[in-house]
């Protein structure tokens, strides 16, 4: 199983697995909801996660930067607590690998996710997490299956 995490409050979490339809969730609103989403993942023996490694943006306010950092840290904690191996990857790296450098334009990554996952309803909240999960599958696939 491959997990992709776009850690922003408007981000999402996606799951890809052999023989199972891909699925993506909008980022849960509470820490408890995030924990409940991750709990079943911990039962898989062959699993890997990629979480987007990002930092605050220059025009981002102090409050939103703090909230983002807290959410990012909590997500990392969930992965550690549930013993899910993971790697942090910058947006530039996964976007380059999937030929969808967005330069901040979410429509570019949404369009690419629609190309790769035509069976799913793609939203701005789920597009990046699905692409990060696909990057995870392509990069770590041999280690997981």
Q: Residues of the chain with pLDDT > 90: what percent?
A: 73
Two structure tokens written together for 54: 């990002």
Assign residue 32 the CATH number of its domain: 3.30.420.10
26 DSSP β-pair partners: 12
Two structure tokens written together for 106: 């979410």
What is the C-alpha to C-alpha distance for residues 134 and 78, in angstroms, rounded to an integer? 21
Domain extent for 79 = 2-144
Question: Average pLDDT over the chain, rounded to whole?
Answer: 89
Residuewise pLDDT in 10s, the chain (145 residues): 999 999 988 899 999 999 899 999 999 999 999 999 999 998 898 999 999 997 655 565 544 454 555 788 999 999 999 999 999 999 999 999 999 999 989 999 999 999 999 999 999 999 999 999 999 999 998 765 5
The pTM for the full model equals 0.89
CB 75 within 8 A of CB 81: no
Q: How many domains does the chain have?
A: 1
Residue 99, phi-psi category: left (phi > 0), alpha (psi -120 to 50), beta (remainder): left
């Amino acid at each position: 199983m491959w997990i992709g995490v776009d850690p922003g409050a408007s981000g999402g979490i996606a799951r890809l697995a052999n023989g199972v339809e891909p699925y993506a969730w909008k980022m849960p609103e509470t820490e408890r909801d995030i924990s409940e989403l991750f709990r079943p993942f911990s039962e898989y023996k062959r699993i890997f996660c990629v979480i987007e490694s990002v930092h605050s943006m220059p025009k981002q306010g102090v409050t939103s930067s703090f909230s983002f950092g807290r959410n990012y840290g909590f997500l990392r904690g969930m992965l550690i607590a549930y013993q899910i191996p993971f790697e942090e990857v910058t947006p530039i790296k996964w976007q380059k690998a999937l030929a969808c450098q967005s330069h901040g334009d979410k429509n570019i990554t949404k369009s690419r996710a629609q190309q790769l996952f035509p069976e799913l309803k793609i939203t701005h909240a789920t597009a990046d997490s699905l692409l990060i999960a696909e990057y995870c599958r392509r990069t770590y696939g041999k280690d997981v299956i």
